[in-house]
Amino acid sequence: MADYTPPSDHLDRVGYLFGHPIAHSMSPLLHQTVYDSIGLKWSQLLLDSTNMDHFLELIKDPKFYGAAVTMPHKVAIVKHCDELTEEGREVGACNTLFLRERDGKRIYVGTNTDVMGIKLAFYENVSDPDNVFHNRPGMVIGGGGAARSAVYAMRKWFKADPIYLVNREKAEVDAVISECKARGFGDGLIYVSTVEQAEKLEGPGSIVACVPDVPPRTDHERETRAVVECMLGKPHKGAILEMCYHPSPYTQIGKLSEKAGWQVILGTEAMIWQGLEQDKYWTGKDIHELPVKSVQAAIAAKLSEHKL
């Protein structure tokens, strides 16, 4: 299974979604909607594999145009790239491989469009960033890879300072802070672990939630949820991006935020904009030359299939 090569004889150009497990990913649907809309005989094929060597052979195909790289390969792929963009280099993880040609030689470039997905989810949906989230504290809920991307986006584009980190596991937060500091964007990160601490802090203007949509069960999880509710209840009402969209983008944290008067941005927006950013690299077209509305409609229709 690891060495399976998806058939591509019927295509002019071929890309891959490389990761494991990926069977339920909406990435191929998103990109096929783009290619069909602009008349390209291209496809992104599923490569559900942990075999890096096999992937590195497949991308030598003259028809290869680029790849989306997901878990568990986002960090491992970095050393196989000829070059990295600023986002790929600073975040230390790549979810996208694209091609450049120099002196007749093919150059494999790695980038991270996850950070652009977070950035564009806010800027394409919030009408007045200056009043809503610029130059205000930011807040990230969670402690994984998406949390690192959120910190990077808040620091680079939102002018967020400080950035609050809210998570049930202190060790995960420590790891995020350590890695962000090592990469040069870790100053002003504050772990907020109790409601008493949260009550004394200025409210955020932007929040990115990067945790599964499950009810809190342990004491740590209940305290974390209480910290979130405390922050949502502050006088300033900002915008929250709820990264969780499977099986539904309408989450508990999203409902709490809406009830508290916050603008809620669905996680599908970040997924869509990071995917369109990938197609910008792959097709050479500006992101707003791509069929944004068609992609949004295709993803919404797919999600509606999972509703009870």
Q: Note whether 141 and 251 are same-domain residues.
A: yes
Q: Note whether 102 and 135 are same-domain residues.
A: no
The whole-angstrom separation of Cα 232 and Cα 164 is 13
pLDDT in tens, 89-143: 998 899 999 999 999 999 999 999 999 999 999 999 999 999 999 999 999 999 8
Could you tell me the residue range of the domain that residue 238 belongs to? 116-267
Give domain status of residue 244, yes or no: yes
Q: Note whether 123 and 47 are same-domain residues.
A: no
72, 88, 112 - which closes a domain:
112
**Cα separation values, 88 from 112, 116, 164, Å:** 5, 11, 23
Q: Note whether 101 and 174 are same-domain residues.
A: no
Q: Determine if the peptide bond prior to 137 is cis (ω within 30°).
A: no
The whole-angstrom separation of Cα 145 and Cα 247 is 20
Counts of helices then strands in the chain (DSSP H, E):
12, 12
Residue 1 scores a pLDDT above 60? no
Active-site residue flag, 74: yes
Give domain status of residue 128, yes or no: yes
Give domain status of residue 155, yes or no: yes
**Total-model pTM:** 0.91
pLDDT in tens, 163-183: 999 999 999 999 999 999 998
Residue 48 scores a pLDDT above 80? yes
The band of 305, judged by pLDDT with boundaries at 50, 70 and 90, is: confident
Q: Among the options 41, 60, 63, 74, which is catalytic?
A: 74
Domain with residue 183: its CATH number is: 3.40.50.720
Q: Note whether 85 and 151 are same-domain residues.
A: no
Q: Which residue has the tokens 């229709």?
A: 301
Q: Note whether 140 and 157 are same-domain residues.
A: yes
Give domain status of residue 292, yes or no: no
Residue of 132, 148, 165, 159 lying closest to 231 (CA atoms) = 165
The whole-angstrom separation of Cα 256 and Cα 264 is 10
72, 94, 112 - which closes a domain:
112
Total of domains in the chain: 2
Give domain status of residue 273, yes or no: no
Give domain status of residue 278, yes or no: no
